């Protein structure tokens, strides 16, 4: 069995590195005398290769880097990008309010007064309007006949349903204690748009063909 010759390496300059260089040379020579015959043998026990790699940290690191898959390196890059993305600065639209306590520490939290018109009655009315829109939307197209009363009821429920939905959005996203003036402005703006839409649909129903007939003509155009 033939061993590969190892030429004399170049000695680094400076007397302070002679001792480390001598130890490195001896370690390389011993590893070459043990590893080369084992690697040239057809059947190599796994525990023999593991013991060789365990003796030298440099050889172990080389083996690990040689068998490292490109997918692992790609995953490391992706994780670093995700970490950099989540570590970015958080920007808020409005600055946080100061932490204040209403009253004293012993006072209970204020509870708003119950109002059925803004609670259970409002919730029930909103659901009835949403459910009533389903048959009113299908009936004119399924029956094939135009009914002005049904068309007027459909337009009225559409206006009410849209007003309730936009009003709920204003209540959720613009709290009164945070932006009281802007919320009041949005509520009045919503009322103006609702009134304008109702007047426009009334004119369209009385002086024109109506919503249902207009949708039919657009669909068949």
| Dist. CA 129–CA 33, nearest whole Å | 89
What is the token pair recorded at 158?
Answer: 């559409």
What's 182's DSSP letter? H
**Which candidate, 56, 16, 11, places its Cα nearest to that of 32?**
56
Give burial (CB, 10 Å; 0-12/13-18/19+) of 166: middle
121 marked among binding-site residues: no
Alpha helices in 17-91 (DSSP H): 18-40, 46-55, 57-66, 70-86
| Dist. CA 201–CA 208, nearest whole Å | 10
Give burial (CB, 10 Å; 0-12/13-18/19+) of 87: exposed
173 marked among binding-site residues: yes
Annotated binding site for a ubiquinone: 173
Annotated binding site for heme b: 161
Annotated binding site: 161, 173
């Amino acid at each position: 069995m033939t061993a590969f010759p190892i030429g004399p390496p170049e000695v680094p300059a400076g007397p302070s590195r002679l001792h480390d260089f001598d130890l490195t040379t001896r370690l390389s020579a011993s590893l070459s005398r043990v590893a080369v015959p084992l690697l040239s043998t057809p059947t190599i026990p796994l525990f023999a290769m593991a013991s060789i790699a365990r003796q030298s940290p440099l050889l172990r690191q080389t083996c690990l880097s040689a068998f490292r898959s490109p997918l692992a390196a790609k995953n490391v890059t992706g994780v670093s990008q995700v970490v950099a993305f989540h570590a970015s600065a958080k920007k808020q639209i409005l600055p946080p309010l100061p932490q204040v306590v209403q009253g004293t520490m012993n006072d209970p939290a204020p509870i708003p007064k119950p109002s059925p018109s803004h609670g259970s009655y409002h919730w029930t009315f909103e659901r009835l309007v949403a459910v009533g829109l389903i048959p009113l939307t299908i009936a004119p197209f399924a029956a094939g006949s135009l009914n002005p009363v049904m068309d007027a009821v459909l337009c009225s429920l559409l206006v009410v349903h849209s007003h309730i939905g936009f009003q709920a959005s204003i209540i959720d996203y613009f709290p009164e204690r945070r932006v009281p003036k802007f919320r009041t402005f949005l509520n009045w703006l919503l009322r103006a748009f609702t009134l304008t839409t109702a007047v426009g649909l009334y004119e369209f129903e009385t002086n024109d063909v109506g919503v249902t007939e207009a949708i039919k003509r657009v669909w068949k155009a």
